[in-house]
């Protein structure tokens, strides 16, 4: 798969990919054509490595938003087995932006929670492009409590621009329910792994982002606000989104350097959108390894370590008396 339109830094790669496809269509190739194909593939790999090594923060945001990137439903199919979806929050409704359900991961029973952005326009509008309402977080809390009751680990896949900002969502307690979800996750006596697979936007991401391990895919981002939102507040224009992205320190590498996340999961060369299967295999390998390690910890130690991990995030300076 290749990237969609609009990423100017991808143009040289798309040109080389088209050339590779042209050379591969010849059923009977001469030795010279075989060598030309190999040379073109080498040039493509080298150029892809060069381009993606030089991405800035705003480029990373745009890659994270690509429609071709694997979504929650792709990982359900490629990483997990026997997914059984659980619906409803037992209070208001069934939010489609947050999906929950039982699944198996390498034979281990887990509770899977994840943002669903949708693939078709109809799906995307039904789930508000991955922006969950309060009933979505109430649903996920209910299912996470169930997981803890039955001793099942929890896996959260985060991919949202942010929680839904509409009046109805605010009236139904959006901010409070996100805070309650974070509080609950900090205390659940079962292993929790959270992975940002695309966009990790603001409170919408934090609402299912408290875990024993927090990881971000290499070309995903995790931020307190969207670059456009930050630019609108600071510079009164979305035109400064690229400047805001750099200021927000939202890339996976920088987040790990700051101690805000535990791990960066490497993506296939050229991004997850180029090879869903390889990306899924890497995600599965990470999840299995971490769950096996966490499952060996006593429950009280698990919760205590989780608490300490989040308490240590950030820097505090004591300036003394003025």
**pLDDT tens-place string over residues 228-269:** 999 999 999 999 999 999 999 999 999 999 999 999 999 999
Q: Where are the domains of the chain?
A: 8-54, 61-311
pLDDT of residue 1: 52
pTM of the model: 0.91
Q: Given pLDDT bands bounded at 50, 70 and 90, which one contains residue 321?
A: low
131 C-beta neighbours (distance < 10 Å), count = 22
The 10s digit of each residue's pLDDT in 127-161 is 999 999 999 999 999 999 999 999 999 999 999 99
204-217 exposure pattern, b = at least 16 Cβ within 10 A, e = fewer: bbbbbbbbbbbbbb
Percent of the chain exceeding pLDDT 70 equals 96
Three-state secondary structure call for residue 298:
coil
**Residues whose CB falls within 8 Å of the CB of residue 182, separated by 6 or more in sequence, listed in order:** 206, 207, 209, 210
Strands 263-265 and 213-217: parallel
* Helices and strands: H and E segment counts in the chain: 14, 8
pLDDT of residue 95: 92
| Topology (CATH level 3) of domain 61-311 | 2-enoyl-CoA Hydratase; Chain A, domain 1 (3.90.226)
The 10s digit of each residue's pLDDT in 57-81 is 999 999 999 999 999 999 999 999 9
In terms of C-beta density within 10 A (0-12 exposed, 13-18 middle, 19 or more buried), how is residue 135 classed? buried
Percent of the chain exceeding pLDDT 90 equals 80
Please give the Cα distance from 242 to 181 (Å, whole number): 31
Please give the Cα distance from 2 to 171 (Å, whole number): 41
Q: Residue 268: phi, psi to the nearest 5?
A: -60, 160
Query: 220 with 244: CB under 8 angstroms?
Result: no
């Amino acid at each position: 798969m290749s990237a969609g339109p609009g990423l100017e830094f991808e143009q040289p790669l798309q040109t080389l990919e088209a050339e590779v496809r042209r050379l591969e269509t010849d059923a009977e190739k001469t030795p010279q054509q075989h060598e030309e194909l190999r040379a073109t593939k080498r040039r493509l790999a080298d150029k892809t490595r060069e381009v993606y090594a030089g991405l800035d923060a705003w480029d990373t945001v745009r890659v994270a938003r690509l429609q071709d990137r694997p979504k929650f439903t792709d990982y359900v199919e490629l990483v997990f087995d026997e997914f059984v979806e659980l619906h409803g929050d037992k209070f208001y409704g069934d939010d489609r932006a947050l999906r929950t359900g039982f699944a198996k991961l390498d034979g281990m029973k887990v509770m899977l929670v994840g943002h669903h952005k949708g693939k078709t326009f109809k799906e995307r509008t039904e789930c508000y492009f991955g922006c969950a309402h309060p009933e979505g977080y109430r649903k996920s809390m209910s299912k996470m409590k169930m997981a803890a009751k039955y001793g099942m680990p929890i896996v959260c896949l985060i991919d949202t621009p942010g929680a839904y900002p509409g009046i109805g969502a605010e009236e139904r307690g959006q901010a409070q329910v996100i805070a309650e979800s974070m509080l609950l996750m900090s205390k659940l006596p079962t292993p929790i792994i959270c992975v940002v697979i695309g966009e990790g936007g603001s409170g919408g991401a934090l609402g299912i982002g408290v875990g024993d391990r927090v990881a971000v895919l290499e070309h995903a981002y995790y931020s307190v606000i969207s670059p456009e939102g930050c630019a609108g507040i600071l510079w009164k224009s979305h035109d400064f989104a690229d400047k805001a992205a750099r200021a927000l320190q939202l890339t996976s590498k920088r987040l790990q350097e700051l101690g805000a996340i535990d791990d960066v999961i490497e993506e296939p060369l050229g991004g997850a959108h180029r090879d869903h299967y390889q990306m899924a295999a890497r995600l599965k390998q990470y999840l299995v390894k971490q769950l096996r390690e966490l499952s060996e910890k006593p429950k009280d130690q698990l919760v205590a370590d989780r608490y300490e991990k989040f308490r240590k995030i950030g820097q505090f300076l004591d300036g003394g008396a003025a």
